[in-house]
């Protein structure tokens, strides 16, 4: 029989931590989940688990950290952990935005250089500005 991985998941724990007690809706049904979130924040301020090579998934860290902060805030517990966790969430969000913008800029650069290359093959006399731009792009692409 194969062993089942029962590793604690900060994402799942945060969801469970938000469940109110049926007898007292202003208190958590599972306070041990809140305690786990307070005690298990990593040194990098996230609640993510490191994968096999020691790196974290940016998206998973962001989701886990955001959800853990929401759970802690719901019950007004762990103000210090919330502040640290929101830092991780913001950094992950900004990193994803920068990555998306970088990919877009590369696509625009490649597309514009392809358009200029086609223009150069079709037209004998391009304006000086376009010719200069093309030469700069071409030299960057070939360096």
What is the extent of the structural domain holding 32?
10-141
Number of domains within the chain? 1
Residue 137 has pLDDT above 90, yes or no: no
Q: Is 111 exposed, middle or buried (0-12, 13-18, 19+ CB in 10 A)?
A: exposed
Model confidence over 93-121: pLDDT tens digits? 777 778 777 777 777 777 776 776 676 66
5 lies in some domain: no
Question: What residues are paired with 28 via a beta bridge?
Answer: 20
User: Is 27 domain-assigned?
Assistant: yes
End-to-end CA distance of the chain: 57
The Cα 57–Cα 44 span in angstroms is 13
Residues paired with 20 in a beta bridge: 28
Residue 3 lies in a domain: no
């Amino acid at each position: 029989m194969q062993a089942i991985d029962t590793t604690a998941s900060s994402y799942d724990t945060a969801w469970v931590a938000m469940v109110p007690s049926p007898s007292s809706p202003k208190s958590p049904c599972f306070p041990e989940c809140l305690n786990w979130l307070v005690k298990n924040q990593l040194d990098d301020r996230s609640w993510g688990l490191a994968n096999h090579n020691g790196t974290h998934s940016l998206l998973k860290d962001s989701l886990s950290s955001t959800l853990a902060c929401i759970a802690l805030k719901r019950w007004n517990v762990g103000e210090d952990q919330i502040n640290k966790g929101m830092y991780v969430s913001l950094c992950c969000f900004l990193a994803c935005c920068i990555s998306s913008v970088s990919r877009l800029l590369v696509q625009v650069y490649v597309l514009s250089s392809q358009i200029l290359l086609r223009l150069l093959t079709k037209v004998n006399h391009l304006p000086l500005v376009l010719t200069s731009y093309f030469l700069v792009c071409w030299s960057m692409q070939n360096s």
